[in-house]
Amino acid sequence: MSIAKADKPIILVTNDDGVTAPGIRNLVESIKDLGTVLVVSPDKPQSGMGHAITIGQPLRMQRVHNFGDDVEAWQTTGTPVDCVKLAVDKLLHRKPDICISGINHGPNHSINVIYSGTMSAAMEAAIEGIPSVGFSLLDHGIDADFSAAQKVARKIVQLVLGMETEKHFLLNVNIPAIPHEMLAGMKVCRQAYAKYDENFDERKDPRGSSYYWLTGEFINMDEKTDTDVWALENNYVSVVPVSIDFTNYKLKNQLDEQWQETL
């Protein structure tokens, strides 16, 4: 990276909707005076890519100029996770001070953290020890109003840059699609237990063979009030701290007693 200034934090920005999405443009605009910004983002939409990485084919990077002259930006042929790896290893040659991902067009609350390319990019950075935040707006529309989300993102980036973060600091932030003055505040939450009730839409091609479109209805199975789904339904910005240790310690303790050395 050629334009880093030593006295300013380096802010790595990525997303999963691709480098031309309004969400990432709004995110960059909201924080670009807070540090030196590097954008590394997929060259096409990558929603639903989860934590996919590209190992069967090589990657390419191309300089782009979508964000004005003061923001260095690259598009890559890879996934959101690939973008973070390329940014750190090939462009920055160091860890940025923060990695932010988004602003996603659509929600990534509850179980969506698992499917989301937005959150996977942020998680990849957190594995590397980079404080990371994924931002999502509860509006899928290409003409969504990002003005409240911009204020929220700026506020949270300022908070994170100003604090001592733990080694693997990762937040999943979702923002209701309402004007900023209607937001009830920010709520630190746990991930709601929710799932999708799949319903493949079966169709016939012109030759009579079946094909299937994945559809599904979101089902919140969690009635408690400390979840991200509850917070969003009540006009709060939801902030879920996310772990990179997936161990189920409760089940580990149970099986420890029953299964140890039973081969």
- Structure token digits, residue 259: 């299964």
Q: Is 20 in the site for its own copies (CB under 8 A)?
A: no
Distance CA 146, CA 166 (A): 29
Residue of 10, 123, 137, 229 that binds its own copies (CB under 8 A): 123
Distance CA 184, CA 60 (A): 43
Binding string, 54-93, against its own copies, x = CB under 8 A? xxx-xxxx-------------------xx--xx-xxx---
* 172 half-sphere exposure, CB direction, 13 A CA radius: 29
Contact 217, 96 (CB under 8 A): no
Q: Identify the residue whose tokens are 């979101």.
A: 218
Q: Is 45 in the site for its own copies (CB under 8 A)?
A: yes
Q: Is 211 in the site for its own copies (CB under 8 A)?
A: yes
Provide the Cα torsion 233, 239, 241, 246; round to 10°: 30
Distance CA 96, CA 10 (A): 5
Q: Is 49 in the site for its own copies (CB under 8 A)?
A: yes
Q: Is 142 in the site for its own copies (CB under 8 A)?
A: no
* b/e 64-90 (16+ beta carbons within 10 angstroms → b): beebeeebbbbbbbbbbbbbbbbbbee
Residue of 47, 101, 108, 238 that binds its own copies (CB under 8 A): 47
CB 44 → its own copies: shortest distance, Å?
Answer: 9
Q: Is 189 in the site for its own copies (CB under 8 A)?
A: yes
Residue of 1, 4, 92, 188 that binds its own copies (CB under 8 A): 188
Contact 110, 228 (CB under 8 A): yes
Beta bridge partners of 201: 213
Choose one: 29-37, 45-53, 64-72, 96-104; the region binding its own copies (CB under 8 A): 45-53
Residue of 67, 135, 146, 169 that binds its own copies (CB under 8 A): 169
Q: Identify the residue whose tokens are 């693997």.
A: 168
Residue of 37, 103, 113, 122 that binds its own copies (CB under 8 A): 113
Distance CA 53, CA 55 (A): 6
Of 48 and 68, the one with the shorter C-beta distance to its own copies is 48
Q: Is 232 in the site for its own copies (CB under 8 A)?
A: no
Of 147 and 199, the one with the shorter C-beta distance to its own copies is 199
- Least Cα distance to 163 among 100, 102, 98 occurs for 98
Q: Is 187 in the site for its own copies (CB under 8 A)?
A: yes
Q: For residue 2, say whether it is annotated as part of any ligand binding site.
A: no
Q: For residue 17, say whether it is annotated as part of any ligand binding site.
A: yes
- Structure token digits, residue 180: 């900023």
Q: Is 114 in the site for its own copies (CB under 8 A)?
A: yes
- Structure token digits, residue 163: 């604090």
Annotated binding site: 16-17, 47, 104
Q: Binding site residues for a divalent metal cation, as ranges? A: 16-17, 47, 104
